[in-house]
Structure 1
Amino acid sequence: MKMGTVWDRTAEFLTDNIAAILPVALLAFFVPASIEGNFQAAMDGASPGLILALQLIQIAFGALTVWGTLAVTAMAFDNADSENATKIAGKRLPAALLVAIVCFAAILALLLPIPAVLSANGVDVVAIAQGRDFELSTGLASFVALYLIAFVILFLWLGARLIVTTAVIVREGRWLSALSQSWKLTRGLTWRIIGVMILFVLLAWVSWLAANTVFGSVFALIAGGDRAGVNLAGVLTSIVVAAVQTGFTVLIPAFTAKLYLALTAAMGLGESPATA
């Protein structure tokens, strides 16, 4: 199986069905991203009640983004049948949220040794979380650095093995077993998938940085960005950054859906249709 072929099929799907994908992308990706871009500024000096409300909105936006990811995945399977895709996304949403929560909990568990070791050595972890100044000994700093390097390597490896989990949820209607199914399908392709992931992350990061820096500077000069809190320059910048982010966010589920189809075809599993 060639990754180039998967990319070609992904690009063909996106270019041929942009009109059907756009409404879902705007609702599920662009709107939440453009609004959330101003949340940090709004939280500065805000009351606890407002901060809690914004955090709840972020959770709701997260669920909406998961729904959009499921919808685009279903569209990639069903040739952009948007009506059926949105219905499937709604039915698969509980399973996808459960898997996301389990994966998030696993990531937190893997990172737990860092604050545990820091606390055991008298470091104020709360100060670190709040962004205040703190000091680390050479030994502790080395431990944190080495642990984070190992974590990133493990994260990339696990991410490669679980990359088609969402596609499995949409196509096969699985819940937590979607993780093991993705693990099975990606066997033997880990390094090729990691290469694609690294390339994608670099492209997304450079694009995001360029949009945030270039347009942020321009809007700050034109609209003024020196005022604390939410301002016009920040709002305009978040809109541009959200547009760039939306493009990459749409690409992920489309690619993983086409990758899933290629993997199942290579293993002779066929293409079982998604149940409504």
Structure 2
Amino acid sequence: MTAEEYLKHGDIKAALQQLQEQVKAHPAKVEYRIFLFQLLSVMGQWDRALTQLNVAGSLDNASLAMVSMYRQVIACERFREAVFSGDGEPVVFGHPEEWVALLVQALKLTAQGQYLKSRTLRKRAFELAPGCSGTIDTQNFDWLADSDARLGPVIEVIIEGRYLWAPQQRIHSIIIETPVDLRDVIWLPAHFAWSNGGESYGLIPARYPASYQSDDPLLALSRKTEWKNCGDESFLGFGQKIWVTESADYPLMDVRTIQFNSSDEAATGAEE
């Protein structure tokens, strides 16, 4: 079977072995190098993925823009992992409000296994967070949240080489592109219209942090989602990101548009 066929069946290791043989046989074929970069990224082998990116850039000048972009994206993903491990703090889009600061503190406690304390902070954060109604793929909602308790009403985004938390009241709308490349199962391209009138093109992390560490390759490929119950009605996600409203669950890969009814004149961009 080809590497693509192995991937279709969810066999990442066999796909990697087959693709490495193809690269060895055709070392100057840039398409194989880009494919290998994407597959290694799915597996969380960031250093090896960067090596293949650099080789692709050296083989074909037409790929340099993509190479430059995804170098930054990999750096953002590594920083994201540090954030969820409690070793970093996310940059917040717009002025950081108290409820977001509480979410960040709760995330650090969760990373330390202090679930009861983190739940207390998170509950307070959710009470303070402004409610944002809207539509998701034409379906109305009164509220929308990430199913992962660590995030709730913030949207993770990667924009211009920065990993950000975007509170929903900062967002007017999101248009999410249909996934077409293997890398899209990790970072899904999207267009953002902000409540201050600005617009950005960026990426949304499509899977929860460290999903590639599971023995189940379908989690790494964003084809399923599993949950870790922290014993306090809070669940930590692995695999494909899922948003939830009061009436339904929405796997990220299936969502194309979100529009919020919020109006936030104070949002002025990303502030450290």
Q: State the TM-score, normalizing by the size of structure 2.
A: 0.28
Which structure: greater strand fraction? 2
Q: State the TM-score, normalizing by the size of structure 1.
A: 0.28
| Bigger Rg over Cα | 1
